[in-house]
Amino acid sequence: MATTGHFAHLLTEGMDDLTLVSLPAKRTTTTSRIFIVAVPEIKYEDLPLQTMSIHHAIFASFPILVSFSTCILCALCADWYCFAMILLGIISSGVTCFVIGSGALGIETVTKPADGSPSGDGILLTHNGVVILKGEEKDVNAITKGKFSLKLKGAPEYTVIGLCSLLLELQFLLQLLLIPQGSLFGQVMFLTSVGKLQRKLFCDTIKLRQAAMLGFEAGTRTSMAAFTCFVLCENLPRPLEDIKPIKILLEFLPNETLVWRKWREQVMTQVQKKEGEASIFQPENVDMSGLDATQQLLLTTLLQDADDAYKGYIEYRDRRLSINVSQAS
């Protein structure tokens, strides 16, 4: 997918709270962040969406109390223009919130992929890194294709929604006309009354816990590309058929010079090997024919980046396996 939905944006926005583990690096140019998210199994037929808790109700009461207080103060100061506008805002907002709040909030996405579909592992590109999603396609779809849906009463006319819209529009027009007629104190009271829930709501609904998200930091973009490729190809049968490593590498590094082509070939050769085999990113394992001294030096540097990424991947894999073993016991 060239673009993803709102939930993917919510997921990437909350990654800054994760503690980053630095990957092995012999050099550092542009620091890149890599996040791995193990998407849990989602049971769409039983997906309760808790829209409010007692804590949310308490927080919501503060702006309500402020609005009533400013309304009373305007009345005490005999500023009836601002008093009327604040009171109208309380009524129109309250009625609208009641109508919309009576709807059923859910998650809309592709819940049943085609039979025989491969795993839904994929990547979300950010401005300074990448988010790697690991999970079944039906579960990953909630992040890449999902969106909130609100089912309201009164379909298909939605007469009540139309009346609420009309009331809010009337409030807006009257505010433009009457607020300038009020006193300075009343105008201040009006502005006072106007005063990362979505991400938490989504993660709680699909049961995506903080422990299922890992953060890494790569010293170069080449290390990030190679590490991402290793993680996405993890546990897949060799030879690889459902995934094309070359497409992953080209997504990050589309350079088409001879040096970069030889580097990508070496990374793909490593990926095709059985997991845990020794690294082949030493210069003596690469055909340097056709390269001058400067190009050979560049390729050697890029191979070192890939070797650092491979070492970091082995450490990540071993740590994840040890955690799974401890949880199973």
Instruction: Give the type of residue at 261.
Output: R
Give the angle 53-56-57 at the CA atoms, nearest 5°: 90
Counting Cα atoms < 13 Å in the Cβ hemisphere of 233 gives: 31
For residues 286 and 262, the answer to whether their CB atoms sit within 8 Å is yes
For residues 160 and 24, the answer to whether their CB atoms sit within 8 Å is no
Measure CA 71 to chain center: 40
For residues 303 and 283, the answer to whether their CB atoms sit within 8 Å is yes
User: pLDDT per position in the chain (329 positions), as tens?
Assistant: 667 778 888 888 878 788 899 999 999 998 999 999 999 888 877 665 655 566 656 666 777 788 888 889 989 988 888 888 888 888 888 888 888 777 777 777 877 877 766 777 889 988 888 999 998 888 888 888 888 777 787 777 888 888 888 888 888 888 888 878 877 777 776 666 554 567 777 887 788 888 889 999 999 999 999 999 999 998 888 888 778 899 999 999 999 999 999 999 999 999 998 877 889 999 999 999 999 999 999 999 999 999 999 999 999 888 877 655 455 54
d(CA 195, CA 59) in angstroms, rounded, equals 13
Give the angle 152-154-158 at the CA atoms, nearest 5°: 85
- Nearest CA to 191 out of 67, 298, 23 is that of 67
Contacting residues for 10 by C-beta, under 8 A, at least 6 apart = 198, 199, 202
Contacting residues for 220 by C-beta, under 8 A, at least 6 apart = 25, 27, 28, 29, 30, 32, 305
